[in-house]
Amino acid sequence: MSQSLPALAGADLELAYDGRTVVHGAGLALRAGEVTALVGPNGSGKSTLLRSLARLHAPVAGTVTLADDAAGPTGLDALTLHAKDFARRVTLLSQSRPTPAGVSVRDVVAYGRHPYRGRFGTGDAAGRDVVERAMVLTGVAAMADRPVDELSGGELQRVWLATCLAQDTGVVLLDEPTTYLDLRYQVETLDLVRDLADVHGVAVGVVLHDLDQAAAVADRVVLLHSGVVRADGTPAEVLQAGLLTEVYGLRIDVHVDDGGRVRTHPVGRHTARHTRPAPVPAPA
């Protein structure tokens, strides 16, 4: 893969619903071995931008390109690739998917191998091992034979994540992957996201609502507001108190802890109710 180009990039993207523009001239570049987190308030365009990179939301204007040695310095036009060719390069974990009735966890995870199979499901010699590994990595191997429609929301979320891993692509797009997960599996999912980048050299784009999670997992943070990219940089560069307060319409304090990690503190009316100083007695 070309080192001079991002693994997947969108440039000057205009995205609309029913003729109403919701993302304005946005750019996003995902590089191999890096995690890029998209953050911003509800309705800011995070998921729409991610879906456009996955070719699930056609842009009104702009380009989506994939790095490819054979394509030279301009890369491949991702919007014109055959569906299976694109699916061997990019996978998306979306916010919601239909739950198939009566289908086992193993068979759902095996859906991720579809781009590698020929007619009648043939031609994927590595598929079984890849599926088993994906289930182990996401903690669902013990439920491999259970029907997915009997699972909890958190269990099902991990099954869909395993399906994405089974697709075995160089770019992974994750739209709120910690939704429905308890604290343990939130942490393990974010660890897995880092492993994809650090160990496997995958380019990861992830939508997150939790700013502290974004600061912990991401190499770069992209902050959107009203369909516009307001900031793009390291967590320390983007997660600034003044900017966050403006974008979210809520006071957000920021500090760096002893380990060098950015921490954010939204301040509500009752945030400090347990830390108020004791009343000072009136002078005698």
276 vs 206: which has the higher pLDDT: 206
In order of 38, 113, 222, 225, 239, the CA distances from 254 in angstroms are: 18, 43, 17, 19, 8
Residues in CB range of 268: below 8 A, 6 or more apart: 250
Mind listing the pLDDT tens digit for each residue in 17-47?
A: 999 999 999 999 999 999 999 999 999 999 9
Boundary residue ending a domain (168, 201, 219): 168
Share of the chain above pLDDT 70, in %: 93
Mind listing the pLDDT tens digit for each residue in 56-111?
A: 999 999 999 999 877 778 889 999 999 999 999 999 998 878 889 999 999 999 99
User: Which residue range forms the structural domain that includes residue 72?
Assistant: 1-89+169-236
**Cα–Cα distance for residue pair 135/261, rounded to 1 Å:** 31
Q: Look at the chain and report how many structural domains it folds into.
A: 2
Q: Looking at the domain assignment, is residue 264 inside a domain?
A: no
154 C-beta neighbours (distance < 10 Å), count: 16
User: Do 195 and 102 share a structural domain?
Assistant: no
160 C-beta neighbours (distance < 10 Å), count: 22
pLDDT of residue 276: 52
Mind listing the pLDDT tens digit for each residue in 149-203?
A: 999 988 999 999 999 999 999 999 999 999 888 999 999 999 999 999 999 999 9
Residue 1 has pLDDT above 50, yes or no: no
Contact 208, 25 (CB under 8 A): no
- Here the CATH number for the domain that contains residue 59 is 3.40.50.300
User: Do 84 and 2 share a structural domain?
Assistant: yes
Query: How would you class 270 by CB atoms within 10 Å of its CB: exposed for 0-12, middle for 13-18, buried for 19 or more?
Result: exposed
Q: Looking at the domain assignment, is residue 157 inside a domain?
A: yes
73 C-beta neighbours (distance < 10 Å), count: 8
